[in-house]
Structure 1
């Protein structure tokens, strides 16, 4: 006897096939557009990440993965020398609208000017694309162009560049003893040098403190200062910088860069430090010690190389300290700063002068040069 075949069971495969066909033929709607990237893009040649990212996006999230193809070509930058050539793609996952096109930058110390290349966004899968080109500039950070200098060649301090800060200001926050003046006894030009002289008169100490605030401010570059430093217990010379926004945000939120500080009782050792705000005052720094002699016996060059998110300190071309934004989550030094030169007397850090300290003491500055 033949088995009975149910029509209901025969119909199930047919129903499944019809359902699958309906899924395959279901309309998914129009494809999103790739939006042309606008604006200018740049990266510093020694950026710590080593990669520039060109953003790309689509007009609406897609219901499947989108592929964006891109390549690079030279303008003035050279593939293989200034950057790594690319011919690749990125994906925008389903439900997302953005991706970044990465290009690796190669530091090129032989190049002394900016260079550029093009990123070509050429085609897409899963989206509608009208090809477009995005230029990218590699910003040179060799800082070979002299942007400003003061060689201190005139008959007096150039007040187009410098301000005098006056008084004791309640010890300048450090219990310092000196009174700053604009007297030519304390601040003067002599034989092509700036002299800042600390003088003792009885129990009174006078000295000089000058700044470039609101006159000469800079963001990034290389600073070189050639100077002879004073010595003696309680003598505290400094070549340093503060954020030009100090009047609005205050200290230490403005950021402080100490290019050079010296404690007179340690005349063969200088310090480089940064001060900043992270739930209150924070600082970090390092020091450099001469192998022989002291900083009072002759000229030395104190240098700061200040790059975006990265700073390096040098004495006579020898690096002794660096800091970057990876180490410090609070990094206020991407805004303009001004210079301060002063010789303090006494205070919390150096202590006060004693019977071993001879006066007057002076800091001699041959020049300050700023390269960008």
Structure 2
């Protein structure tokens, strides 16, 4: 068990009769040792067994800047300093009441392992900082031990909790050529559900927890102990001292390096006990933008099947657009401040114009409009493109989005929601593309953002391309978010379209007291299949 569990364990030690462990014994078996090769087979591997009467925990200090804290006394450790080296191993056994007994043993072991390439790429021959590759598909995944790929789950870009993506890990070389490890997690880490209760969480859904990652640690490299085929792995394993871990807490400090380049790191760690051990996969990048470069949208949908070009002046076409009136029983679930009317939207000059105004309306301080195509038009799979110019002003919240046509029957988020474009006047140049569905809705939705300048000064094309395999979000045909679709989530049925401008609320934020009015202009809405 990692050092991060120590505080929980120590709390238990303080109860009951104070009883120090007795008869502490340590045995060490150097793997491959023979009369001819007394220091082993060159793997640097040593099997340790510690036993003691009345012991409930053992702390191993292996004499190479690494420690392990665990309830059982049996484990295997890899030494990696090349050549025959002597290490003093200290084992501390803890009994009830926190009483401790310590013993030491000496081991001499041969390590022929050396991987200067991985060492250089990890550290940049000096210092390098790594971030979770949040923009990459499969930046966190899990699978069975024998498949060597995340067959059970692979995260879509930016799908997981933000506490995972706030991490930075700096790996460097010190003056003695040791690999140092410093982990800045902003005091909170994303914790695997199996270990939430051990770290003080309230339940498996409470996975962003305070975890102390302070202090410099060390990384030792050793030969990987798994059976990953050589063409899928470097064969090198990272071992982090003092309970260190790579961003996602899975109760391990050892990670096999599957792939590493100047700016990319892909690792595999083994963890889990309740349902048997699993293989966990993590991707890192040296860029703090999460990787996942934007690319040109290569559409598969070319046939225009439906559109509204807003060519006829007057009210929006009632055969297409429904007005939603009111404040939606408390701000549409988001504490929004506007009252929607059928008077704040008009078609003129070839544009649909939705205007949010600061004016007293039915007990609210702001008015606006929200239109949808429910029961008039919906579609399943295709490319929807909306050309629009956005409003501006603190607190404005324009949105171009879709919900499942079964919303009246199943409700939200069961129907699914695809936010083609959301924007906050308080964050002028940032565009959001987001998906909401069961277990991933509201603040836990799966989203990505992109920086686009001039969204309130000129028209931009906001696009979603959607099929049974993936959903892509783009601005002016530049893809910035790709989500892997599946049959288990509600994005495989017809969706209808919604256009609105909200004010304030949980997403729009504080409204500028000087705000008077601002308009979202929509040139067209087009659907291709």
Task: Pick one of 343, 346, 354 that aligns with 2:504.
Answer: 346
The answer as to 2:257 corresponding to 1:257 is: no
CA distance in 1, matches of 2:326, 2:497: 19
Structure 1 residue 309, shift from structure 2 partner: 3.0
- Corresponding position: 1:358 with 2:515: yes
Asked whether the equivalents of residues 309 and 333 of structure 1 are also in contact (C-alpha less than 8 Å), the reply is no
> What is the CA–CA distance in structure 2 between the aligned matches of 1:303 and 1:358, rounded to whole Å?
29
Identify if the C-alpha distance between structure 1 residues 279 and 209 changes in structure 2 by more than 3 Å, giving closer, same or farther: closer
User: Contact 2:435 / 2:441 at 8 angstroms: preserved in 1?
Assistant: no
Any conservation in 2 of the 1:233–1:353 contact (CA below 8 Å)? yes
CA deviation string 1:178-212 (max 9, x = no partner): 000001xx100110000000011156200000000
Residue 306 (structure 1) aligned to one of 448, 456, 466: 466
Extract structure 1 runs of 4+ deviating beyond 4 A: 279-282
2:204 equivalent to 1:204: no
Stretch moving more, 299-308 or 202-211: 202-211
Q: Encode CA deviations 1:101-153: one digit per residue, 9 max, x unaligned.
A: xxxxxxxxxxxxxxxxxxxxxxxxxxxxxxxxxxxxxxxx7211100000001
The 8 Å contact of residues 252 and 276 in structure 1, kept in 2 or not, is answered as: yes
Instruction: Give the alignment partner of residue 377 of structure 2, picking from 216, 226, 229.
Output: 216
Q: Distance in 1 between matches of 2:354 and 2:480?
A: 26
Structure 1: gaps spanning 5 or more residues: 1-140
Pairing of 1:68-83 with structure 2 (within 5 A):
none
Gap runs ≥5 in structure 2: 1-298
**Alignment match, 1:317:** 477
Residue 398 of structure 2 aligns to a residue whose secondary structure is: strand
Which of the pair has the greater relative contact order for Cα pairs under 8 Å at 6+ separation?
Answer: 1
Q: Could you say which residue in structure 2 is the equivalent of 1:168? A: 327
Q: 1:267 and 1:276 mapped to 2: Cα distance?
A: 27
Matched, 1:296 2:456: yes
Give the TM-score of the pair, scaled to structure 1.
Answer: 0.58
**8 Å contact 1:309–1:331 — kept in the other structure?**
no
Q: Secondary structure at the match of 1:349?
A: helix
Question: Residues 337 and 505 of structure 2 are in contact (CA less than 8 Å); yes or no, is this contact kept in structure 1?
Answer: yes
Pairwise mapping of residues 1-372 of structure 1 onto structure 2 (< 5 A)?
142-156=300-314, 157-169=316-328, 170-183=330-343, 186-202=344-360, 204-278=365-439, 282-290=444-452, 293-325=453-485, 330-355=488-513, 357-372=514-529
Q: Distance in 2 between matches of 1:273 and 1:143?
A: 21
In the other structure, the counterpart of 2:112 is none
The secondary structure found in structure 1 opposite 2:506 is coil
Determine the structure 2 residue equivalent to 1:88.
none
Contact kept? 2:401, 2:418, Cα under 8 Å: yes
Report the CA distance between 1:280 and its aligned residue: 7.3
Q: How many residues get paired?
A: 227
Greater shift after overlay, 300-309 or 255-264?
300-309
Deviation at 1:301, TM superposition (A): 0.3
